[in-house]
Amino acid sequence: MTQPQEALAEPVSDRQPASPHLPDPITPSGALLCPPEEIIDPAVLAEAIEAECRDAGGDAMALRGLITRHLNAAAKAGRANIGAAFEAHPLRAREMVHAYAYLTDGLVVTAFWAARRFLHPLPNPTASERLALCAVGGYGRAEMSPQSDVDLLFLTPYKITPWAESVIESTLYILWDLHMKVGHASRTVKDCLRLGKQDYTIRTSLIELRFLAGDKALEAELHTKLHQGLFAGTGKEFIEAKLDERSERHKKQGGQRYMLEPNVKEGKGGLRDLQSLFWIAKYIHHVDKIEDLVPLGVFTPEEYWAFEQAENFLWAVRAHLHLIAGRPADQLTFDMQIEVAERMGYADSPGRRGVEHFMQDYFRHATMVGELTRIFLTALEADHAKQLPGLMGLLRRRKVKPGYAVRQNRLDVKDEKKFLADKLNLLRIFEEALRTGLLIHPDAMRLITANLDLIDDDMRGDKEAARIFLDLLVKHGNPERALRRMNELGALSAFIPEFAPIVAMMQFNIYHSYTVDEHTIQCISQLAQIEREELVEDLPVASRILKKGVNRKVLYLALLFHDIGKGREEDHSVLGAKIARAVLPRFHLKPREAEDVEWLVRYHLLMSDMAQKRDLSDPRTIRSFARAVKTKKRLDLLTVLTVCDIRGVGPETWNNWKAQLLRNLYRQTADGLENGLEDLNRDKQSAEARRELREALEGWDKADVRAELARHYDPYLQGLSTQTQVIIAGLLQGLGDDEIRIDLTPDDDRDATRATFALADHPGIFARIAGALALVGANVVDARTYTTKDGYATPVFWIQDAEGNPYSAGKLDRLRAMISRTLKGEVLARAELTKKDKFKKREKSFRFPTTVSFDNEGSEIYTIIEVDTRDRPGLLYDLARTLSERNLQIASAVIATYGAQAVDSFYVKDMFGLKIHSESKQKALEAKLKEAVQAGTDRANG
């Protein structure tokens, strides 16, 4: 970020190359990562080229080959030396970008010199045959990543002459021969002014114009005319154009800062945002370095330091991405996150991986970039260089309380000393912002961040402070706005220090779309939306619970603390409950309220796990869950919290299937708690199911209805809907022993396609169907399999396509044909899956330890085997095949996936119809299952 004159030593302004022997001398644009001579020595390079070209004759191609060979050797040596120095000092990014820019300067200037000296010498140039070479864009700032583009401007006084055209062409060919990615333009001074008026991208690149070689006077003329004839008086329109461009860029990158795989350059909080600040600052304030904004009062010294830290960090990340990929790469994908974290020195710690520490730092810097942008733009508004924010809702806003003022349509403090005299004002200002609907002015934000030390233990225990904070949560209808601003300013962690470790904490998986702190705020936002009755159609049960009335303080605090224990070795639910127990006395709750919050934090995953990992048709599942929640009040609280928690994970996490499971669990548990758990039994459920099936088969012959009802065991009647049982009844009618019948029907309630089968029973049916479905790329979300008394199997699988949707009607015939071929043995699933069962490159880095657990209490009839491991195509098939090979009968499989993690629960019994109680059998089976998982993982990684 230097002036053009500082970038290079003062070159001569004549029309000849700077010297008969040497290119224009270059000087570093900033501190370098290693000594200049280890990067490139243009004088030595030019002498070597001169010596060899002198004796090479006049063959232009041969001369170009000689020049390129020398430059290529210099480029390789320079890049190797910079790369080695950066590997040794992986955080010295500022010196690194200047080093790559210095190397590029040496190559470009020498190529330009050689083209003029050897390929197109001009002893007596005319006034029109002047030529200046300038760097623009990022190269103009002398900031280059290893794979950055080289943006050049060839400047001529008038129309380009044949000589200038030849020099430009030869220079570019030499650079292309070096495999440099060159963006170039050849223009006159008038062209630059005309095009800059029309195109803000061109105007932006001209802001960063930096002279490299040739006619200095020509570049100086352009520099003067740009500032006098183009930039002057157009600041406001330039700012608005850059902000519009920034908004569009953010939309393309996902629209929010906490993307799982952020774009380091173009994403929200990325390098381009910092560069936009620099462009606007240079345009409006005519500064050449961001630090020049400190004396102007735009940034404080601390804010400038934060800018430097964020910029250095982001440059380091981008450079490591380029070096790992060997090409321009700005997307911080999961596989890249691992390698970049290792290169930058991040190591694993108890409970957290090094990559998670790295991404936490990344998001902290991205947040700071947002804060700096907000401060800078507000300063521009104060100078009337930028339009004020819209007056949306201004008429509805209330008059501010004494001690506050409205400046630039934002809430500010009238008197800083009076404000700080009562430290509770550091909380009250957030409530006042919610009450009035005003944004907080950056000057007030600065005041808060500069005085966070006032939020001490006395204030944390103050009853009035607790009231203010609780009112932020429950009184104004949009608590997420206050919490997000408090979090970004550090006030939330100051008031609740236990919250600090999860700020910007990233969880390295593809299930969570947000950092832990942002997920917490998203959950609270979901609760506020339900309370505002915005989600009645999507969430009828949760909306009804809140409308009837629950303890809102308990719910909001439980959501605030539910993930506060993450990132440590101990189970985060257990640790979170301990933290809640220690923190809650500060909020002066009633003892029963504190108990409920602690219980909700401890068991916040209970309902989700029970709904997604257990068979809800088994009465013991419902009884077990009912005994855990004990009361209808806690059931209501836990249901709402669970809904908010799942929806707060990310925009694609909630679906009809999860909604249906939770509603089913809630309804059955509520019935049990209100009417007695003794009503939850198989006999009662079976009798009710038989009555409903009999009514559904009303058009059938009575003898056929009796036969259909008699052929099924109770678990079948309890485990499937009447609608599914009617389909199976039709499939079974007249079924031959060697026949396979399949029905594929969309199940809207589960966001899946229901695949229903009827065929003669034999060992391994479940595994074979799982293999057939894996072969066609189907994702199994739930499965049941039953055997009739007369020897037929009636498996039911709910499947989705690769995008997580039910299969379209056009794909069902192909799906049916492929499944049939596999079940008939025409296609061997095991062999075919070996070819298909592969991890995508970006997903190979996810690690989940495999655990196998046995539960003989969760079901009256079956042993529940739960396998928690890394998800992949073919996993269900491998597990089911292993169980079948051990002579176990699979009654049902409940499939839960959390991004790259899968939890498959199998309800099984042995060949004698008994549970697996033997510890030795359990250990042997556990070993076989882990062996199958590992073999499949190795295959998928291959």
C-alpha dihedral over 931, 935, 940, 942, to 10 degrees?
Answer: 140
Tokens standing for 907? 């309800």
Confidence (pLDDT) at 19: 47
Among the listed residues 284, 245, 280, 281, the one whose alpha carbon sits nearest the alpha carbon of residue 266: 245
- Cα–Cα distance, 86 to 674 (Å, whole number): 67
Residue 255, by phi and psi: left (phi above 0), alpha (psi -120 to 50) or beta? left
Q: How far is CA 846 from the centre of its chain?
A: 14
* Positions of the chain with pLDDT lower than 50, given as ranges: 1-20, 391-396
Q: Tally the residues of the chain.
A: 942
Q: How far is CA 809 from the centre of its chain?
A: 33
Tokens standing for 901? 């993690």
- Cα–Cα distance, 820 to 808 (Å, whole number): 19
For residue 539, the SS3 value is coil
Angle between helices 516-531 and 632-647 (to 10 degrees): 120
Residue type, 144: M
- Cα–Cα distance, 68 to 60 (Å, whole number): 12
Confidence (pLDDT) at 841: 63
C-alpha dihedral over 276, 277, 281, 283, to 10 degrees?
Answer: 10
Tokens standing for 235? 């600041």
Residue type, 522: Q
Whole-number Cα distances in Å, 717 to 281, 702, 728: 72, 19, 12
Confidence (pLDDT) at 825: 74
pTM: 0.84
Confidence (pLDDT) at 254: 61
Beta bridge partners, 758, equal 741
